[in-house]
Structure 1
Amino acid sequence: MLCLIQMAVPGFTALVDPLAPGLDLKPFFRLMANQNVVKVFHAARQDIEIIVHQGDLVPSPIFDTQVAAMVCGFGDAVSYDQLVQKITDVRLDKSSRFTDWRYRPLSEKQLEYALADVTHLIDVYKHLTAQLEREDRAHWLKEEMQVLTSRETYDPHPDDAWKRLKMRVRKPQELAILKSVAAWREREARERDVPRGRIIKDDAIYEIAQQAPRDSDALGRLRTIPKGWERSSTAVALLGAVNAALAVPKDELPKLPKQQQQPEGTNAAAELLKVLLKIIAEQQGVAAKVLASSDDIDQIAAHGEKAQVPALQGWRRAVFGEKALRLVRGEIAIKFEKRKIVLLEV
């Protein structure tokens, strides 16, 4: 739900109340679609998802300061207040960060906190943009923004919602429940226009899949379910999804993804690749998470050039992927020399 809009341009800041009766948000959505205006966000995905669902558009072009900060070496998933302090030396008051922005009226302190969220964003944007240009990394960020501005990023089919979740199930019936409940939550979240986690948390879905509660009493005994929630109308709908999955005939249950047998030496190769990733991240002054995920590492260790992972594509391949492949092929080695870990040509 779009509860508050915070906007700033040099010399001017504004708060817009989208919950005000009769307010027309069309000018705001036109601004979001304007290709001549760069929209700057911090940790943009959730904000963009709300705009996609309410305005039926993906904001573009955009600049995500959290992603840019990782590219510029400010660490993994740096928070807005940390970034503001590091760049502008301003310490933000975080006492209102847990505000429920749906409720009115908002206090002066809450309004000041909301404005601060964008007031310093301009200086952060200018600093990061200059650093990206200076270090010739603007194209790195451009590739990342293409993912954030892709419609497919925000419009997964409800039946595919389970793919967002980690595979913590071991039986076909558990997977059937996981799929059914995840699809129900996705539809419910879209209909009510709220984040998925406000419907039910991921951990609760895992526990429901494993325990398979058929009624409200069984649901209420689960550790991840808030006391009394099992009697709500939402819980009734959830139990409907669980029981629908339990009614699936045994021979029609989904098959668990096969665990592929990894080639011999994969684990050892992955450990070496992690060291290589740390070396290159430090050399480049960039967060390791931006260069490669743990899954990227595992896939490269197991399949080398055949691994279909982001670390072997675009700028990541040039910075990390090629060296990773050379390490796996035995063309370079890692050496401890003069109290430092260095790369060595073989």
Structure 2
Amino acid sequence: MQIHPLITESDELADLCERLAKSEFVCVDTEFMRENTYYPLLCLVQVGNEHEAAAIDPLAEGLDLTPLLELLTDNDEVLKIFHAGGQDVEIIYNLTGKTPFPIFDTQIAMMAISQSEQIGYANLVESWLGITVDKGARFTDWSRRPLTERQIEYAIGDVTYLAKIFPKILKKLIKTDRGHWLNAEMEKLADPANYANDLDTAWHRIRAPGRNPAVLGRLKALAAWRETEAQDKDIPRGRIIRDETLADVASHPPKTQADLAKVRGLSQAWKDNDIGRRLMKVLKNAEPLSPDEMPDKPKRGAPLGKEGALVADLLKLLLKIRAREIDVASRLLTKSDEMEALAAGVRKLPILEGWRYEVFGKDALELVEGRLAFAVEHGRLKMTRIDGVAAVAAAENTAGAAAAQ
């Protein structure tokens, strides 16, 4: 594989992107700093395929990134490969208003062919290539110039290794016929709505304190105000006010600006400074959340109660067994709240649709309805099906126990 010197000139970048545009796939990674700014500061971009790789310096004076951004967002013929690419995609979206497509994330893909929930890049390289990645440069200041050779070598390794690993993962996905399991996950990663900075929906990222329209209305107004303050000052939103403090102010709004000094998480200065006055103005003008903006109620059936909780625990045990049997990450199949909803009687769930129903949901439903049971054979836990009268009796016992509480 050819490794190019650090690219700092526009014509070099244009030539590279022209060649990569003819590839079936291009691996992408970024290095950035976001500790002190509202938007992540892009410091380095690494791209490559099976033949060549390069690091690109977006901080180089006069460098035109247009060919690179067009390759990533406007070329539908080239598959873009990332590992844990959410933040990389966010940066590209911030620069272009678009997301890379089509897209493939090796961290997500590993969930379909192993029990790895969130495998790190170093562990991915170790497991597929037997190579130990030098992590020494990982936490360096990528904004400082000049970059060292060690930094550049470390950064380019993120795409050169990925270019070798991706075909192996793809081969296994094809062999196991699990590629379609990942369609929805990859679409979610590439959905621009996940990265749009909409002031009206900024409050969604904060854990909502209940379902009181007045409280949620204040939370919505405060979250939008915080985004504007952070953008104007170009600092992380948490430097303005932390999520938990914002939620607390929405739930228990101070009556006067002087009362801000009593709010945990705010300094004494807020009782008479300009930002405190702006916050109080936002609280005064906040309106209750409209009915169409209210968050959906969680999908629940009857209250679980103690016995119903035991049924949910059995479903979680079944999930562990099935994930181990078919070598898949349990989180790709379902989540705890979905199993609790199934145990409580909810039947319109993702777990009961498509491939998830075939590989796990069908058995989960049979367990809840008394047609499946646990057994021990030769010291190993296994599943056994119950037929006829025994199944009816088991289902009645399960349903009765869940409703008894």
**TM-score (norm: length of structure 1):** 0.82
Amino acid at match of 2:326: Q
Helix, strand or coil at the partner of 1:333: strand
Q: 1:207 deviation in Å?
A: 5.3
Q: Give the aligned partner of residue 352 of structure 2.
A: 312
Question: 1:344 aligned to 2:344?
Answer: no
SS at match of 1:66: helix
1:85 correspondence with 2:126: yes
How far apart, CA to CA, are the structure 2 residues paired with 1:279 and 1:316?
15
- SS, match of residue 306 in structure 1: coil
Decide whether aligned partners of structure 1 residues 278 and 251 sit closer, same or farther in structure 2, where only a CA change above 3 A counts.
Answer: closer
Pairing of 1:119-134 with structure 2 (within 5 A)? 119-134=160-175
1:344 aligned counterpart, secondary structure: strand
Q: CA deviation at 1:36?
A: 1.4
1:301 equivalent in structure 2:
343
Q: Is the 8 A contact 2:80 2:104 kept in 1?
A: yes
What does 1:181-260 correspond to in 2, within 5 Å? 181-186=222-227, 202-203=243-244, 205-206=246-247, 209=250, 218=260, 222-223=264-265, 236=275, 240-241=278-279, 243-245=281-283, 247-248=285-286
Partner of 2:93: 52
Aligned partner of 2:315: which letter?
A: L
- Aligned ranges 1:1-346 → 2 under 5 Å: 1=40, 2-32=42-72, 33-155=74-196, 157-168=198-209, 174-186=215-227, 202-203=243-244, 205-206=246-247, 209=250, 218=260, 222-223=264-265, 236=275, 240-241=278-279, 243-245=281-283, 247-248=285-286, 262-265=301-304, 266-307=308-349, 310-346=350-386
For residue 95 of structure 1, what is the amino acid of its counterpart?
Answer: G
Aligned to 2:31: none
Residues 62-110 of structure 1, C-alpha deviations (whole Å, 9 max, x = no match): 1101001111115111111111111111111112222343333322222
Residue 126 to residue 219, structure 1, CA distance change in 2 (3 Å)? farther
- Shift of residue 286, structure 1, vs aligned partner: 0.7
Q: Distance in 2 between matches of 1:106 and 1:199?
A: 32
The 3 A distance-change label for structure 1 pair 40 and 169 is same
Moved more, 56-65 or 160-169: 160-169
Q: Structure 1: which 5+ residue stretches go unaligned?
A: none
Q: Give secondary structure in 2 for the equivalent of 1:155.
A: coil
Amino acid at match of 1:294: S
1:176 deviates by 4.0
CA positional deviation for 1:132: 0.8
Farther off after superposition, 155-164 or 249-258: 249-258
* Structure 1: distance between partners of 2:345 and 2:325: 26
Q: Distance in 2 between the 1:81 and 1:72 partners?
A: 18
Q: Secondary structure at the match of 2:346?
A: helix
Superposition RMSD in Å: 3.6
Distance 2:288 2:186 in 1: 44
Q: Give, in angstroms, the shift of residue 134 of structure 1.
A: 1.4
Partner SS for 2:111: helix
Relative to structure 1, is the Cα distance of residues 50 and 215 closer, same or farther in structure 2, using a 3 angstrom cutoff? farther
Aligned residues: 339
Matched residues in 2 for 1:242 and 1:127: separation?
57
Question: Within 2, Cα distance between the matches of 1:105 and 1:216?
Answer: 49
Asked whether the equivalents of residues 177 and 241 of structure 1 are also in contact (C-alpha less than 8 Å), the reply is no
Residue 282 and residue 252 in structure 1: after superposition, are their counterparts in 2 closer, same or farther (change >3 A)?
A: closer
Percent of residue pairs identical: 37
Aligned-partner residue type, residue 278 of structure 1: K
Contact residue 220 and residue 229 of structure 1 kept, 8 A: no
Higher Cα radius of gyration: 2
